[in-house]
Amino acid sequence: MPRRWLLMSLLFLLLPAGCSDTHTAPSSQPPLIRVKLIAGADQVLITASQPPVVRASSDAGAHVMNFPLGMQVQVMLAPDGSWRIGNVPAGQGELVFQTAGDPLLLNGLAYRGSYRLVPVGPGRFDVINDLDLESYLKGVLNAEMPSRWQIEALKAQAITARTYALFHMKTDGANRSYDVYSDQKSQVYSGINAETDKSRQASDETAGVVVAYGPPGDEHIFEAYFSSCCGGVSQSAADAFAGPNIEPLEAQNVGTLCNASPKFNWGPIIIPKNELTRRIKTWGAATDNPIKNMASLERIDIQFVNQYSRPTRFLVTDTRGTNYSLTSEQLRTACNTDAGDGPKLFSSFCKPVAQPDSIAFVEGHGYGHGVGLCQYCTEARAEQGMTAEQILTAAFPKSKLKRAY
């Protein structure tokens, strides 16, 4: 996930919403979210069950295309910036496909809303899915949390995911053609095929509700992080991502609450030093971190821990004796960069032990960054009878539920 810590004012905030409010209809329509499905495509295949409406930026109006119904039609962008739908020229600039009937299929997959194809270079374009936020959430929930879990857990996840999405719509989305990615760089969105009865129920029963923080009457949404399993101790956003800290995103000790996760305890994970050197330098080059110039890896040590003894910063030492200090999530990301099918760290909650030719990561706990809402803790709390509101105020201390629309 991209990392931001700026608090966003709920300028559209209308009224408080506790659990008693979450079953009421929202007071206005949900906003439109723009999801990047594909980056840098050279072609896509569109399938329609009825003639779609198509419009290019260069055209004065939209056109109803006489598609061969039920068959895939190739859409390509020529190097000169002109579109071709099958063999038909289709103008220049952004190209939008929409339909009032059954959803259009993109490369065989169905998504609600419309598709916007945005040129990004000669013959290359991004594919953006524009749809309302509640429809988007229905395609997120089952991709991020098992649908067999308790409905209150799914409702807590829906509120968290909605808050996260709104935050990025108001920050990153202001300066680009999309708001969020469709994968783990934001949160996983898999369209209509990922929807279930419970994902639709969780979205509908919490429609418009977000988690917020601040003085009464001046609450703000924040980047509502979530991950699979904290391993018993979460970490603050400040420690994980080296940003400002707020009370809802501080570290917590939850003991064995999430021990149903198969990744609650793990290890050892052993990675050769030469492979780790390659991965870390690759990450350093991609992020312009000084570690890109490191010599061969000698050792990795825990530099700092939080108040509950979870590592928050690591010291990477190369064979020249040069030290590089990385946050917990910088280290995990660096060690997993370009790993392919090789071993990966499940979390940064572990202890690295230097061996002659490798690093053994032992005493591992948890899966993911461990900031904010722990999904296995969420399910455990739901099984204990807690409501979505109670789950969220436990996961994000000093927060409250509010209605955003």
Summarised one tens digit per residue, pLDDT across range 309-331 is 999 999 999 999 999 999 999 99
Could you tell me the pLDDT band of residue 119, with boundaries at 50, 70 and 90? very high
Nearest to 133 by CA among 165, 98, 159: 165
pLDDT of residue 27: 53
How does the average pLDDT of the chain come out, rounded? 92
- Biggest distance spanned by C-alpha atoms of the chain: 68
Mean pLDDT of 324-343: 97
Q: What is the pLDDT of residue 16?
A: 31
pTM of the model: 0.90
> What residues are paired with 359 via a beta bridge?
271, 354
- Cβ neighbours for 303, distance < 8 A, ≥ 6 positions apart: 311, 313, 314, 315, 325
**How far is C-alpha 264 from the chain's CA centre?**
21
Q: Are 225 and 245 in contact (CB under 8 A)?
A: no
pLDDT tens-place string over residues 138-197? 999 999 999 999 999 999 999 999 999 999 999 988 889 999 999 999 999 999 999 999
Closest to 111 measured CA to CA, from 83, 131, 137, 88: 131
pLDDT above 60 (res 13) = no
